[in-house]
Amino acid sequence: MNRQAQAAVLFLLGAALLHAGVTDLYLRYVKAGLRPLLLASGAVLIAVALATAWYERRRHRRTRADAHPEPRVAWLLLLPLLALILIAPPALGSYSALRSGTALQKSYAYGPLPAGDPVPLSLVDYASRAAYGHGRSLHGRAVRVTGFLALDSAGRPYLVRMALNCCAADAQPVKIALTGALPPVLRPDAWLEVTGTYTPRLIHDPVNGGPVPYLRVTAARPVPAPHDPYDETWNT
């Protein structure tokens, strides 16, 4: 691979990163807060590619006999480019959730619930209030939570969101066990918007022993997968 080819590959890599950042494809790989860095990286790669092509053009006096072959390993730069262009991995789902322990963490404080009936809450917020806040802020209030379904080997249903620290590689599940008025057909990985009330019932995750609170379901309906399937509120 000569330097002109390297410049072309760098340009395509930068363009692919910019495309991922602009079209939200990047949400399959990293958390939303890293978008500016991703766009900046793409811009830098394009700038380096253009500078390399300009520099090589100025060296037009060098003959082919004087040129030295570039290492073939440089062609490996095409692999991440092909992955970005050809492969759009699905968001992690029930298979990963059931094989990882809950990542639920205790919050420092629980503020009052927002207005609304039912109250819209993130799955992580409900789980933390139920497990560590002992449901004190949830008594007497109906809540609405969204997540995807996972069924364990015993058929117990969970509502799950995968929590991100940095990127999809470190995603971990936060789980809520469901009871009450469940849909007659439960399909793993289907997204549900669940309305329900707090119940003190709690179990421990068989993978890591972490707390998994219950939600008593009063209504549930299928919904499309959200724009950003990952939850970033667990470590904030």
Task: Indicate the residue among 86, 118, 145 that finishes a domain.
Answer: 86
Question: What are the E-state strand segments in 115-210?
Answer: 119-120, 142-151, 157-163, 172-180, 191-204
The verdict on 29 and 82 lying in the same domain is yes
**pTM of full prediction above 0.75:** no
Task: Indicate the residue among 62, 86, 110 that finishes a domain.
Answer: 86
CATH number for the domain including 188? 2.40.50.140
List all residues 6 or more positions away from 178 whose beta carbon is below 8 Å from its beta carbon: 157, 158, 159, 194, 196, 214, 215, 217
The verdict on 118 and 218 lying in the same domain is yes
| Domain coverage including residue 181 | 94-235
Cα 178–chain centre separation: 23
The verdict on 114 and 191 lying in the same domain is yes
The verdict on 8 and 66 lying in the same domain is yes
Q: What's the average model confidence in pLDDT over 23-51?
A: 78
Confidence at residue 34, expressed as pLDDT on a 0 to 100 scale? 73
Query: Residue 211 pLDDT more than 90?
Result: yes
Domains: count for the chain: 2
The verdict on 137 and 218 lying in the same domain is yes
Enter the tokens of residue 60. Answer: 């037009």
Specify the higher pLDDT residue, 117 or 107.
117
Task: Indicate the residue among 30, 58, 86 that finishes a domain.
Answer: 86
The verdict on 49 and 7 lying in the same domain is yes
How far apart, in whole angstroms, are the C-alpha atoms of residue 229 and residue 5? 37
Which of 12-21, 174-183, 203-212 is predicted with the least confidence, judged by mean pLDDT? 12-21
The verdict on 47 and 119 lying in the same domain is no
Which of 157-166, 176-185, 227-236 is predicted with the least confidence, judged by mean pLDDT? 227-236
What is the percent of the chain where pLDDT is above 90? Answer: 37
Say which amino acid occupies 35.
R
Element (H, E) at 81: helix 78-86
Query: Residue 90 pLDDT more than 70?
Result: no
Confidence at residue 68, expressed as pLDDT on a 0 to 100 scale? 56
The verdict on 224 and 132 lying in the same domain is yes
Most confident region among 1-15, 57-71, 81-95, 204-218 by mean pLDDT: 204-218
Confidence at residue 218, expressed as pLDDT on a 0 to 100 scale? 96
The verdict on 100 and 214 lying in the same domain is yes
CB atoms within 10 A of CB 223: 14
Confidence at residue 236, expressed as pLDDT on a 0 to 100 scale? 43
The verdict on 167 and 195 lying in the same domain is yes
Query: Residue 136 pLDDT more than 80?
Result: yes
Confidence at residue 88, expressed as pLDDT on a 0 to 100 scale? 64
The verdict on 28 and 104 lying in the same domain is no
If you average pLDDT over every residue of the chain, what do you get? Answer: 82
Query: Residue 114 pLDDT more than 70?
Result: yes
